[in-house]
Structure 1
């Protein structure tokens, strides 16, 4: 492969604060911390991480890209992530969807999906289109 994903970059006002939040959510760690960037990942040898970069302007619209998190237990993970500083957000989703929409401390939306086992069953269903 000629190219691979190295980092997902998130603009932020509070580099160390948002990096610590996402480390808590993903059970990752800070891999490097400089004045103008903080990089987190699951470990030093990880191929992909998240890089936090400073920005002066506030977030004003819904994200064009977001994370979908696949938990073992959706309700438990939603409560844990809320305790880390996330908040629930309404982006127009109905109450019957299988995911919960949250926002990190700077308002970046992400979803906590239904449990991993049900996602695998859905993916492997023979009649899925």
Structure 2
């Protein structure tokens, strides 16, 4: 059997707070909350979730991996505002302003993007 993705793991200084941010951002649920890990996902049977693991140091440099979020084009501005309301902030990683995405950072400074929705290919 080939390997498959189980969790995306994010190091966190405040596990419960960061898990609550991402659960709210993605409209997911907290599936498991323990001292050394918090797991979120759309439901307990979902094939992939996000796991938050503790670290003592704070984030210092740009992520080497980040999440891209998408939504309907007409909802994009409202979704960015909603994410900012949850505790995200705008982030500058060197973008020019002409990009088709918006760079934000979660409450611990992990960058992520809100991108245009995928186009459906008609074949």
TM-score range normalised by the length of the shorter chain = over 0.9
Q: Which residue of 2 aligns with 1:33?
A: 33
Question: Displacement, 1:125?
Answer: 8.0
Rounded to whole Å, the distance in 1 between the matches of 2:50 and 2:107 is: 16
Query: How many pairs were matched up?
Result: 121
Rounded to whole Å, the distance in 2 between the matches of 1:103 and 1:91 is: 10
Q: Which residue of 1 aligns with 2:52?
A: 52
Structure 1 residues 1-129: aligned runs within 5 Å:
1-72=1-72, 73-114=75-116, 116=117, 119-121=118-120, 124=121
Cα 1:125–1:99 change in 2 (3 A) is: farther
Q: Secondary structure at the match of 1:25?
A: helix
Rounded to whole Å, the distance in 1 between the matches of 2:122 and 2:98 is: 20
**Structure 1 residue ranges without an equivalent (≥5):** none
Rounded to whole Å, the distance in 2 between the matches of 1:95 and 1:53 is: 33
Normalising by structure 2, what TM-score? 0.94
Please list every run of at least 4 consecutive aligned residues from structure 1 whose deviation after the TM superposition is greater than 2 angstroms: none
**Structure 2 residue ranges without an equivalent (≥5):** none
Question: Displacement, 1:71?
Answer: 1.1
Question: Displacement, 1:94?
Answer: 1.2
